[in-house]
Amino acid sequence: MSNELLFDLKNIEKRFVRGRESISIFDGLNITIKKGTFVSIMGPSGSGKTTLLNMLGGVDRPTSGEILFEGQAIQNLGEGELAKWRARHVGFIFQFYNLMPMLNAEKNVELPLLLKNLSKAQRNKSVETALKLVGLSDRARHLPKELSGGQQQRVAIARAIVSDPDLLLCDEPTGDLDRTTATEILETLQLLNKEFGKTIVMVTHDPVAASFANVSLHLDKGQFIEQQSSEAVA
Ligand SMILES: Nc1ncnc2c1ncn2[C@@H]1O[C@H](COP(=O)(O)OP(=O)(O)OP(=O)(O)O)[C@@H](O)[C@H]1O
Ligand SMILES: [Mg+2]
């Protein structure tokens, strides 16, 4: 883990306005995330965990405040620039995998690469590497419905890492999996963190899953409390 900051969030305010109603989710949130950390985020339902991941990943913007990524304020980027920034730096992993049902594993993994200017051969090579890393080389031609939940999540991880982003944002990545399968997925995330230096921010309700991270944050009433800071436990 380096001491360099990947994220520096300053005085983040987030309000959702619906009709005449305005809900304040964050009001003066400050957090920093160091490069190469595996951070877990726990907190009650509705506390703003997904909202925070969306802001970190540049799919939602704060109402005010600054999100500095490697010193650059991403909340001021235009839509096109933000999309480019996202494609280069961020991989998303969701609870229900969000795979395209009509595409096989390798086609799903290839999707993020279609936004880039790469040859078919380059794309194939990256897809093969990503599927190998998650241990699914032998399932490349399977459709999502022909894969187990754990295997579908592996495809989703391969899709998230195929363009080699610095950051993986995971929203309840093991929420739909049994304990054994969840452990395998968490070990894969740990490997991506330790061996490949990916910074990981993972939302989870499960304290066992959170223990795989090396920083555990608890979100409560719009503020974070750091619970522990130790080397990851496997
Ligand atoms: N687009 C939106 N418009 C209006 N309100 C929203 C919007 N998105 C989220 N909210 C509200 O913001 C709050 C935080 O939502 P968020 O999805 O971030 O919670 P969460 O911590 O991820 O919860 P869970 O653990 O249930 O997934 C909720 O009260 C939700 O209703
Ligand atoms: Mg959520």
Query: What is the mean predicted confidence (pLDDT) over 39-51?
Result: 95
For residue 172, the ligand 1 atom closest to its alpha carbon is: 27
- From the CB of 93, is ligand 1 less than 6 Å away? no
For atom 17 of ligand 1, which residue has the closest CA? 50
pLDDT tens digit sequence for 169-224? 999 999 999 999 999 999 999 999 999 999 999 999 999 999 999 999 999 888 88
Q: Quote the CA–CA distance of 97 and 132 in Å, as a whole number.
A: 18
Range of the domain at 83: 36-57+78-229
Structure tokens at 119: 């040859």
**Given this model, what pLDDT does residue 232 score?**
40
Is the pLDDT confidence value at 13 over 80?
Answer: yes
Whole-angstrom CA distances from 131 to 29, 114, 134 are 37, 17, 5
Is residue 4 one of the residues assigned to a domain? no
Is the pLDDT confidence value at 3 over 80?
Answer: no
- From the CB of 234, is ligand 1 less than 6 Å away? no
* Percent of the chain whose pLDDT exceeds 70: 96
Is residue 87 one of the residues assigned to a domain? yes
CA of 173 to the centre of ligand 2 (A): 11
**Given this model, what pLDDT does residue 223 score?**
85
Our count of domains for the chain comes to: 1
Is residue 71 one of the residues assigned to a domain? no
Q: What single DSSP character describes residue 113?
A: G
pLDDT tens digit sequence for 99-123? 999 999 999 999 999 988 999 999 9
**Given this model, what pLDDT does residue 234 score?**
38
For atom 1 of ligand 1, which residue has the closest CA? 16
Q: What single DSSP character describes residue 60?
A: S
For atom 30 of ligand 1, which residue has the closest CA? 46
- From the CB of 16, is ligand 1 less than 6 Å away? yes
CA of 50 to the centre of ligand 1 (A): 7
Is residue 69 one of the residues assigned to a domain? no
Is the pLDDT confidence value at 164 over 90?
Answer: yes
Mutate to test the pocket of ligand 1, among 13, 14, 23 (most ligand atoms within 8 A of CB): 23
Query: What is the mean predicted confidence (pLDDT) over 150-172?
Result: 97
Q: Quote the CA–CA distance of 7 and 203 in Å, as a whole number.
A: 16
The CATH number for 113's domain is 3.40.50.300
Is residue 70 one of the residues assigned to a domain? no
CA of 187 to the centre of ligand 2 (A): 22
- From the CB of 25, is ligand 1 less than 6 Å away? yes
**Given this model, what pLDDT does residue 171 score?**
97
Is residue 196 one of the residues assigned to a domain? yes
pLDDT tens digit sequence for 88-100? 999 999 999 999 9
**Given this model, what pLDDT does residue 1 score?**
53
Q: Quote the CA–CA distance of 61 and 39 in Å, as a whole number.
A: 21
- From the CB of 56, is ligand 1 less than 6 Å away? no
Is residue 203 one of the residues assigned to a domain? yes
Is residue 53 one of the residues assigned to a domain? yes
Task: Say whether 173 sits in a helix, a strand or coil.
Answer: coil
